[in-house]
Structure 1
């Protein structure tokens, strides 16, 4: 399937980590679920978990590292939705540091996570379906001006 046939990625309400006071609370993804999936992925990779850091304000994601014979792999788990991205290094904020997931990331998909590709994460937010985003999220997007979908999904906006 070429890019013109690929389904448009839908940004669900709250995916930026922001909401209006009148909105219901954001969904919460238990970090234990993410940690369990990460350990399963480490087994599939033949590696070991080096760390798992739970989300802390202002981040809207957890971060984790697996070390394998082929190198170090860093994953970002969204704190509200079952989304995961792979990055080259740990940063406070991400813009274009996203990379393709390793082959063993299928273990995360098998665990119910959406493993995002570098092409998706590096695409402009305007290429996604943003119709479900709240007014509060649009205010943040207007203020922070993320240039990639990844920067919109995995952010440290305050």
Structure 2
């Protein structure tokens, strides 16, 4: 299921990738479930998984590609929450350059991931419940000029 609405998305702890040791470690997205969903998506498009790049600090996401008859699609998977997004090309961080999920994105939803639409990812910070963000996270938001949900979730702040 693609998450389309702007219903006051509440950011959970770890959405930015920042955490404080006293609060304990952040959850980890099941990378094997993400890989399985990638292969399911590749089967749907009659293609193959082009590669999976695991998250490296300070990035908050894993990156992969699915190559099919329509070309190559880049898939992002948040490292701490089961969120998936689609972009044109691999980069270390993203702002508002997200693509609409392709028709085969349901392979990720079927595997338990939330597929985020480009509209949802463009949601302004003012429309989000950001009460969980700490002062240090707000400092990064201002420093990097982040204005949307996508910029909060798929970043490489350090």
Give the TM-score of the pair, scaled to structure 1. 0.89
Q: Is there any run of 5+ residues in structure 1 with no aligned partner, and where?
A: none
| Number of residue equivalences | 154
2 CA distance for matches of 1:144 and 1:99? 21
Would you say the 8 A contact 2:77–2:85 is kept in 1? yes
Name segments (4+ residues, structure 1) moved above 4 Å. Answer: none
Correspondence for 1:65:
65
Query: Mean alpha-carbon deviation: is it higher for 100-109 or for 43-52?
Result: 43-52
Q: Is there any run of 5+ residues in structure 2 with no aligned partner, and where?
A: none
Query: Mean alpha-carbon deviation: is it higher for 29-38 or for 101-110?
Result: 29-38
User: Deviation at 1:80?
Assistant: 0.3
Q: Does the C-alpha gap of structure 1 residues 142 and 7 become closer, same or farther in structure 2, counting only changes over 3 Å?
A: same
Correspondence for 1:88:
88
Give the TM-score of the pair, scaled to structure 2. 0.89
Query: Mean alpha-carbon deviation: is it higher for 117-126 or for 133-142?
Result: 133-142
Q: How does 1:17-56 map to 2 (within 5 A)?
A: 17-56=17-56
Would you say the 8 A contact 1:19–1:136 is kept in 2? no
User: Deviation at 1:155?
Assistant: 0.5
User: Deviation at 1:111?
Assistant: 0.7
Q: Does the C-alpha gap of structure 1 residues 13 and 134 become closer, same or farther in structure 2, counting only changes over 3 Å?
A: farther
